Structure 1
Amino acid sequence: MTRLGALTGWLLCLVFSVCTAATELASPSVLEKSLAELSDTLKSDFDLSLLPELRALRRDAQAIDALEIVAQTLLLEGQIRQQYGDYQQSLILHNDALQLAIKRNDLALMAQSRLAIAKLEMDLERYNYAQRSLDDVHQLITQLNNHAQTMPYVAQLLLLEHRLWQGYLYVLLGSYHQAVAELHTDDLVVAGAPELVDKLYLVRAWALLKLGRFQQAQPILNRVAQSDTLIRNQRMKIRFKLLQSMAWLQSGDFQQTLETAMPALEATFATRFLEEQADLQFVLSNAYVQLGDYQLAHLYLKRYALTKDALNFQKRNNKLLQLESQYALATQKQQLSLLEKDNALQAQEIFRHQQILENTRLAQQRGALLLILALALLGFLYWRWQNKRYLSLLEEQVKQRTAELDERNRQLQALSYSDSLTGLHNRHYFFSEADKLLTQARSASQSTIFCLIDIDLFKQINDSYGHATGDLVLQQFAEVVTKELREQDELVRWGGEEFLLVMPQTDMLTAQQVVERLHNAVAQFSFCQDSQPLSCTCSIGFAAFPLRLAEAQLGSWEQVLELADNCLYRAKHGGRNAWVGLNLPAQPLGMTLQQLQQNLDAFTVSSTKLAG
C-alpha cells in the first residue's frame, strides 16, 4: 500500500509538471516573443528552414485561440512561399489571414493582410488588383485613425508601409512623378521601423533616377548607405548598389559605375535575385557603350536579355529553371574539361613535332656542307612563302572581323538610341547628342525650345483598357505629334507617357504656334481601341535655351529642362489639356534660377491666358 501511494503521488507530480510546462509554452507572452524572433529573422532572408517553426508556433497559437498570432504566422509563411515562387499557396495563406482578421474585426490586421496581397499581385504583374488592395488598405487606415482605441503608432506604421508599396506600384506603372510625390515621411513620426523607412527611401531614389534626377537621388542614397539595414538584408544591399550605379551612370561617371555595379552583379550569382542581376547587367551595358567598348556592351546586353528570359521563366517554373541552370553549368564544366584536354594533346603534338625537326636538323649537319646550304636555302624560301601566305590570310581575317565588329557596333548604337515601342529616339540618345545640338544653339541667332509633353490621365487608359491599348495610344500619339512637326524638330520618348520635343532655331512666338497646333491635333485625333474611338489630350510645358540669368552667365540645358518641367506641372495642375510656356525677355534677367522659379508666373504664357 505504501509503494502504491508513493507511485500514485509521483504520477500526479509528473502530470502536474507536464501541464505546467505546456501552459508556459502556450502562454501568449511566450508565443509573441517567438513570433517577434521569427519576424526579425525573416528581415534578413526568407529561409525555407523556418517553415517548421512557423507551423509549430501556429499550432500552439491555435491551441489557446490566439487568432492574431495565427494570422501573423500565415502572413509570414505566405511571404516565404512568395519569395520562392509558390504564388498560389502564398495567396491562399494571405486570404486565410484576411479571413481571420475579418472574423476578429481587427482593422490593423486586415490592413496588413491586404498589403501582403497587394505585394503578391505586384509580383504577378496584376497591377489593377494590386491597386484595389492598396485602396482598401487606405480606407482601413482612415478608419483606424477615427477609431478611439487604436494606438497612433500602429496607424502611422501602416501608413508608412502603404506609401512604400503605393510608390513602388507607381514606379512599376511608369508614373514616376506620382511615385516621388507619394514616397515621403514628412507628416509621419515612426520610430522603430528603420527597415521600412530605408525601403521607402530606396524606392524614392529609384523613381527619381527613372526621371533622370540623379542630383536629388544621390543624397537619399547617401543617407541609406549609413543604415545598419544594408548589413542585415542582402537583397536591400544589392538593390542599393544597383541604384548607386544608376546614379553614377546618369551623372556621367562611367568608371565609377563599373566599380559599383560589377561587385554587386557578382554578389547576385548563385542567388534568387534575378531581377537585380538583370538590371545590373543593363547598367553595365550602358556604361560600356558610353566608354566606347561596344563588344563588352553587347556581351552584357545579351546577358541582360538571357537573365530577363530566365526571370520570366522562373515565375512559371522555379524548380525547372534551377535544374536547367545546374545542367547548363555541368555541361559548361564538361566542355571546359574537354577543351583543356584537347589543348594538352595539341601541346604534346607540337612538342613532338619540334623534336622531330630538331633531330632532322642534327642529322642534316652530319652531311656535306653544300647539301646543308642547299637545304637551308630551300627551307628559307619555303618559310618566306608560307609566312607571306599566312600573313595574307591573317590580314583578310582581320579585315572581315573588323567589318563584322563595326556592323555590330553600329547596330548596338542604333538599338541603344531608339525606343522600341514608338520608334523615336530615347533619353539616352538625347544625353549623347545634347552637347552637339546645344553648341549649334549657342552659335545660332535664334533660341532652341525644349517642350515636355505628357499624355493626360494615361494611367486611367492603362487601367480601363489594358497595357496593350496604352502601348497603341503611345504609338499613335507619337505619329500624330510627328506629323505636326517641322523638318528640323526632334521628338524624343522621355519615359512612360512623357515626350521631349526639341525645336532648334525657333523664337517664342513660333514655338507657341507649333505647340498650339500639335496640342489641337492631339485633342482632335481619334485614337483607335478595338475599332472604337478613344479621345486623349495632352499637357505641354516649354522653355527656351540659352537661358540668360545674368550678364555673362548662361543657364545649363538641365536648368531649362527643369523650368519646362515646372511649366508642365502648372499645365497639369491648371486642369490639364493645356500648355504653359516660359516667355523671358531677350536681355539678361539679373536674377538667380531660384528667384526665377519663385516668380515663374510673371513670365509664363499659356493657352488659357491666350484664350482669355
Structure 2
Amino acid sequence: MIRSVYFLLGYCLLSFGSWANTSIESNSSQREDLSKMLMHLTDSLKEDYDLNLLPQVRVLREQSKQLGAKDLQARSLLLEGLIRQHFGDYKHSLVLHNDALNIAKPLNLPTLEVQIYLAMAQLEMDLERFRYAQQLLDQAYFLITKQVAADKAHALMGEYMLWQGSLYLLKGSYRQALVTLNDATLAEYTLLTSKLALARAWAHLSIGEYQKASKLLGSDLVKQSVLKRNLHLRVRYKLTSATAALQAGNFATAIDTAKQALNDTFGTRFLTEQSLLQNILAGAHAQLGDFEQAHLYLKRFALSQQALNLQKRNNKLLQLEAQYSLAAQKQQLSVLEKDNALQAQQLIQHQQQIDNAHLAQQRGVLGLLLIVLVVGFGYWRWHNKRYLITLKQQVAERTEELAERNKRLQALSFTDSLTGLNNRHYFFSVIDAQIKPDASTNSEKQEMIFCLLDIDHFKKVNDTYGHAAGDIVLQTIADILKQCTRESDLVIRWGGEEFLIVMPNMTHNEAIEAVERVRRQVECFPFVVNEQPIQVTCSIGFAPYPLMNGAKSTLSWEQVIELADNGLYMAKKEHRNAWVGLQSLNQPLNSSIKQLNEDYRSLINSGQVIASTSY
C-alpha cells in the first residue's frame, strides 16, 4: 500500500514538472508577443502621435505587469507619457515618466534610463524650466558615455545632441547650439538626421545666416519621405524655409510657403508654429507694401501669442499639481512598504506552522498534495479565463473613459469658464470652415451677420456692486443670448463685457429683428444683485459678410468685425441701449479700410455707407 502511494506521488511530481515546463514556454511566447507589440507602437509614434494608440499602450502595460516583465512595463509607461506630453497633459505625463524611471533603475537598463531622462528634459523645456532640463540632460549624457553599450550609444548621443541644441536655442545661445548640433553625424538614422538638420538650419537663421540654412534645407540630410509621414516635422520644415526666404528677400516665396504651412496647422495643437508663421506673413506683406494684410496677420499673431501665454500658464499650474501628486504617491508607497513588511513577517510565521504540521502529518500530506495539484490546475485555468474576460472589459471601459476625457479637454480649451460660452480660441478654430466657399456651387456661402454686443456702463456695475455682481450680469447676459439665438448661431465670449454673435444664412432685415429682440430682452430683464434690482442695457453693432467694396473686392471677415465694432462704438457714443447695423456700401470706396473705419459716421451721413439704427 505504501509503495503504491509513493508511486502515485512520483507520477504527480513528473506531471507537475511537465506542466511547469509548458507554463515557462507559454510565458516566453507571451513575452515575445508583447515585445513585438512594443516595437510596433514605438514605430507608429516615430511617424506621428495618435491618441487612438493609448488603449493599446495600456493593454501592453497591464499584460507586462501581469507577466512580470518590468522592462516592458517601464517602456509602455514611457510611451504613454510621451503621447500625453505631446497633447499637453503634462500632469499625468510627469507622473508616468517618474513611474517608468522608478521601475527602470533597479533593472540596470541604462539605455531605457537615458530615453526617460531625455523625455523628462523635453517636458521641462515645454514648461520653460531650463535649469531642471539641463540637469536631466547632464544625467543622460553621463549614462551614455559611462554605461551604455557602444552599439547603442551612437543613436542616443544623437538624441542627446538634438535636445541639448534645442535647449540652447530656447535660451538664445545660438552659437552654442550650432557647435552642439554640428557634432552630430547620423546618416543611418533618417528621422533623427532630419530633425538635427532642421534644428541646425533654425540656429543659422537665428543669427542671420540664411545662405547656410537654405543649403541645409536643400541637402540630403532632410529626407522628404520622413516629411510626408510626420505632420509636425513637415510644418517645421516649411516654417524654416519661409524664414530663410524672408531673410533672403524672396518675399513672395516666403508668403506662399508660410500659407501652405499655416493651412497644415489648422485643427492641430501647433500654436507656436502658427504664431511664427503669422509673424512671417506680416513681415513679408509689409516688405511688399501690402500693409493691410500685414496688419491683419499682426493681429492674428498677437491673438496666437495670447493663447500661447495662457497655455504656458496652465501648463505650469498642471506641473505643480503633478509634483504634489508625486509627493503623495511616495508617501503612500512608504505606508505600503511597512504593511508589506508586516505581512511578510506574518507569512513567515504561518509557513513555520505549516512546516511543523507537515512533519507531523507526512502521510496525510501525500494524499492532500494530489488533491491540491488537481484543484490548483483547475483554479489556474478558471482564473486565466476570468482574467481575459476582465481584461477585455477594462480595455472597453478605459477606451470609453479616454474618449470622454478627450471631449472634456477640448471643451475646457474652447469654453469660457465664467459664462459657459465658447471663447475666442474656439471661434478662430471654426471661422475659416464657416466662411469657406461651397465647392459644389463654386460660390460663397449665403450671407452671414457678425454682431458685437457690449454691456453699457459695465464698469459702473463693478465699481458700485463689486466684481461678483459683474460676473452675475455677464452670466445672465450669456443666458439671454442663448435664448434669443438659433442653434446654428455662434455665441462667443469675445472679452471682458463684449460678446460676438455670428448668424449664418440671415438677411439684414432678419438681423434687425434679432438684435432688437436681444436689446429689448436685456433692457426688460429684472437683474437682481445683492437683493437690489439694477437696470442693465447693451449696445450692439453688426455688419454682413461677404461685404463687397467694388465689383471684385471683398472685405475679409476680420474687417467686417471691425466695421461691426465701429457700429457698436457709434451706438454707445450717440445713444447707448441702441444698435447700428451696416447694410452695404452704396458705391465702391476709393478710401482704404482704415479710412472707412475712421470716417464711419460721416460716410453713413453722406449716404456712401447704408446702415440702420434703432434711434
Q: TM-score w.r.t. structure 2 length?
A: 0.51
Report the Cα distance in structure 2 between the residues aligned to 1:101 and 1:132, rounded to whole angstroms. Answer: 19
Name the CA distance, whole Å, in 1 between partners of 2:125 and 2:209.
25
Distance in 2, matches of 1:206 and 1:94, equals 29
Q: Which residue matches 1:536?
A: none
2:176 aligns with 178
Once the two structures are superposed, the pairs formed by residues 478-557 of structure 1 within 5 Å of their partners are none
Structure 1 residues 26 and 261, CA gap change in structure 2 (3 angstroms)? same
- 1:203 aligned onto 2:199: yes
Query: Is 1:337 the equivalent of 2:429?
Result: no
- Work out the CA distance in 1 between the residues paired with 2:511 and 2:51: 47
- Partner residue, 2:210: 214
Q: By how many angstroms is 1:80 displaced?
A: 0.9
Contact 2:137 2:164 in 1 (8 A): yes
Q: Any unmatched runs of 5+ in structure 2?
A: 1-14, 316-408, 416-422, 431-488, 493-499, 513-584, 600-615
* Distance in 2 between residues matched to 1:308 and 1:257, nearest whole Å: 21
In 2: Cα distance, 1:391 partner to 1:102 partner: 76
- The residue number in structure 1 matching 2:109 is 106
Question: In structure 1, which of residues 51, 55, 69 is the aligned counterpart of residue 54 of structure 2?
Answer: 51
Whether 1:168 aligns to 2:260 is: no
- 1:179 to partner: Cα distance: 0.5
Deviations 1:21-76 (Å, cap 9, x if unpaired)? Answer: 99378533221111111011112322222111111111222233222211111111
Q: Is the 8 A contact 1:74 1:97 kept in 2?
A: yes
Mapped to 2, the partners of 1:212 and 1:88 lie a distance apart of: 38
Give the CA deviation at 1:391.
11
SS at match of 2:269: coil
CA distance in 2, matches of 1:234, 1:121: 23
- Correspondent of 2:77 among 74, 77, 90: 74
* 1-structure distance, mates of 2:176, 2:160: 14
Distance 1:238 1:250 in 2: 18
CA contact (8 A) 1:101 1:109 kept: yes
- Describe the SS at the equivalent of 2:507: helix
CA distance in 1, matches of 2:128, 2:49: 21
Instruction: Give structure 1 stretches of 5+ with no counterpart.
Output: 1-11, 347-389, 406-612
Kindly state the Cα deviation for residue 312 of structure 1 after the two structures are TM-superposed: 2.6
> Are 1:23 and 2:13 an aligned pair?
no
2:258 corresponds to which of 251, 261, 267: 261
One-letter amino acid matched to 2:230: N
Partner of 2:530: none
AA aligned to 2:241 is Q
1:252 shift after superposition: 0.2
| In 1, Cα distance between equivalents of 2:511 and 2:24 | 72
Corresponding position of 1:512: none
Q: Does the aligned pair in 1 maintain the 2:161–2:181 contact within 8 Å?
A: yes
Aligned-residue offset at 1:264: 0.8
Kept in 2: contact 1:26–1:60 (CA 8 A): no
Which of 280, 284, 299 does residue 287 from structure 1 map onto? 284
CA change 1:345–1:64 in 2 (3 A) is closer
The equivalent position to 1:310 in structure 2, one of 307, 310, 319, is: 307
1:88 aligns with 2:86: no
**Cα distance in structure 2, aligned partners of 1:217 and 1:399:** 38
RMSD: 3.4
Tell me how many residue pairs correspond in the alignment. Answer: 340
Structure 1 residues 338 and 71, CA gap change in structure 2 (3 angstroms): closer
Amino acid at match of 2:508: D
TM-fit CA distance, 1:280: 0.5
SS at match of 1:212: coil
- What residue number does 2:414 align with? 322
- Conservation of the 8 A alpha-carbon contact between 1:144 and 1:155: no
Distance 1:155 1:209, change over 3 A: same
- TM-score scaled to structure 1, two decimals? 0.51
| Residues 177-198 of structure 1 deviation map (CA, whole Å, 9 limit, x = unaligned) | 1101110255x5563x211111
Name the structure 2 match of 1:401: 595
Q: Distance in 2 between matches of 1:111 and 1:326?
A: 39
- 1:97 paired with 2:100, answer yes
Distance 1:338 1:158, change over 3 A: closer
Kindly provide the amino acid, as one letter, of the partner of residue 108 in structure 2: N
Contact 2:190 2:223 (8 Å CA) reproduced = no
CA displacement at 1:228 relative to structure 2: 1.2
Residues 288, 294 of structure 1: 8 Å contact kept: yes
Instruction: Give the letter aligned to residue 210 of structure 2.
Output: F
Separation in 2, partners of 1:399, 1:161: 50
1:124 is the counterpart of 2:107: no
